[in-house]
Structure 1
Amino acid sequence: MPRDADATRARLLLAARDEFAAVGIAGARVDRIAAAAASNKAQIYHYFGSKDGLFDAVFDAMVAETLDEVTIDPEDLPEYAGRLHDSYTHRPWVQRLATWYRLERGDSQHPIEAVVRSNAAKLEAIVGAQRAGTLPSTFDAAELLGLVIHTAALWSGATPEYTALTDTVAADRRRDVVVAAVAAVVRA
């Protein structure tokens, strides 16, 4: 039975990812998630405890996947930003989930530990590179990390009005802009 349980849990996570990305935490309905996963609401509560627990599991999985796919390279932050941009392009739900998280949990007293650990590791890598002299100290580590992450999300996190202005920009050009902008920040 473990295979069945693992498969059910995986289907629930996938259905929940799509539901949360589309309508947020408050708008998500466990009955729709269960139906999309060919499961039932009881399984959601069994595996995740609550709708919030399910969102946390989806968000944790997304963070883990991003960390596995795109490891930070403090020696080459422009290319790291490019790879992060690529990840956002291939997984459009990431920015949607992050936006819903900011909107619905931005003042949360209980941050998602996977995000806290991820940020701490990235800061440590940048601080180490700054101490070694391979990254300038024009910006402190948190400022530099923020500039890199947000520049990488330029296209995927844009408003529809901005997207309309740039919808003719080719995919490779979008990546080039991200990499060049982070390179300019690092040189500053």
Structure 2
Amino acid sequence: MAWDTDATQARLLDAAISEFSERGFSGARIHEISRRSGCNKERIYFYFGNKAKLFEAALTRELGSALDDVPIKGSGPQAVADFAGRYFDFVTSHPNLARLTSWEGLERGYPVGAEKRAIHSALKVSEIRGALPRISEAVAEDLLLTIITLCHAWMSNPNVHLVITGTPNQDRRRSAILRTSELLARDASDCS
């Protein structure tokens, strides 16, 4: 029987994403990823080389999916706000992404898979500039960074909103991100 390489790699990445998002890079265990995936540890080393490269592949896949699966539709500040809302929806339905990026920042000290991730980010910056043609690349980069940070914070810093607002209210947070993103996009367009 032929070995399904793509399916095996996907199972390993799914298991790695869960393990790394729960325990971070340092706390994650290869034997646990092996158990979760139903694959032996040797497959992990065969496909990914080591734990650091597996973490890089997991985070790169999650972030690439997020930026690729949530296009900016239309033009103007409302299009950017709509993107922010849909990105928030993606992040809340894929909470591992925000957790992985938090662990990366806390434990790794540098962005893993930076070249591949930069390509995805540059494409999203181009989409923002398409929606807001008068803004510079630097302003579009700042806008994207702000939107991603606002959306990820809901998942990666759950205690902050408990202290400030009491009971978490996802709809309220989404509305605030939409308003903020539209105001920032409008201001960026007006100042250009």
Please give the per-residue CA displacement for 1:51-79, whole angstroms capped at 9, x wherever unaligned.
11111221122123212321234721111
The question of 1:174 aligning with 2:176 is answered: no
Q: Give 1:85's match in structure 2, choosing from 72, 88, 91.
A: 88
Q: For 1:21 and 1:148, how far apart are their aligned partners in 2?
A: 21
Determine the structure 2 residue equivalent to 1:20: 20
Match of 1:115 in 2: 117
Q: 1:144 to 1:100 in 2, by over 3 A?
A: same
Q: Identity, % of aligned pairs?
A: 36
From the superposition, tell whether residues 152 and 36 of structure 1 become closer, same or farther in structure 2 (CA, over 3 Å). Answer: closer
How many residues were matched structurally?
183
Are 1:125 and 2:127 matched, yes or no?
A: yes
In structure 1, distance between residues paired with 2:48 and 2:125: 31
Q: Is the Cα contact below 8 Å between 2:68 and 2:120 reproduced in 1?
A: no
Q: Distance in 1 between matches of 2:175 and 2:13?
A: 33
CA distance, structure 1, for counterparts of residue 49 and residue 41 of structure 2: 11
Q: Which sections of structure 2, spanning at least 5 residues, go unmatched?
A: 188-192
Q: Tell me how far 1:150 sits from its aligned partner.
A: 1.9
Q: CA offset at residue 121 of structure 1?
A: 1.4
TM-score using structure 1 length: 0.84
In 2: Cα distance, 1:103 partner to 1:4 partner: 35
Root mean square deviation of aligned Cα: 2.4
Written as runs of structure 1 = structure 2, the 5 A alignment for 1:1-188 is 1-2=1-2, 4-73=4-73, 75=75, 76-107=79-110, 111-130=113-132, 132-133=133-134, 140-188=139-187
**Deviation for aligned residue 1:143:** 1.9
- Alignment gaps of 5+ in structure 1: none
TM-score (norm 2): 0.82
Deviations 1:141-176 (A, max 9, x none): 222222222223342232514334335243222211
Distance (whole Å) between structure 1 residues aligned to residue 141 and residue 4 of structure 2: 43
1:129 shift after superposition:
4.5
Shift of 1:120: 1.4
Q: Deviations over 1:83-102 (max 9, x none)?
A: 11001111111100011111
Distance in 2, matches of 1:154 and 1:54, equals 24
Equivalents in 2 of 1:39, 1:162: separation in Å? 39
Following TM superposition, by how much is the alpha carbon of 1:19 offset from its aligned partner in structure 2, in angstroms?
Answer: 0.7
Tell me how far apart the structure 2 counterparts of residues 118 and 69 of structure 1 sit (CA, whole Å). Answer: 11
Instruction: Name the structure with the higher helix share.
Output: 2
Once the two structures are overlaid, the 10-residue window that deviates more, 154-163 or 31-40, is 154-163
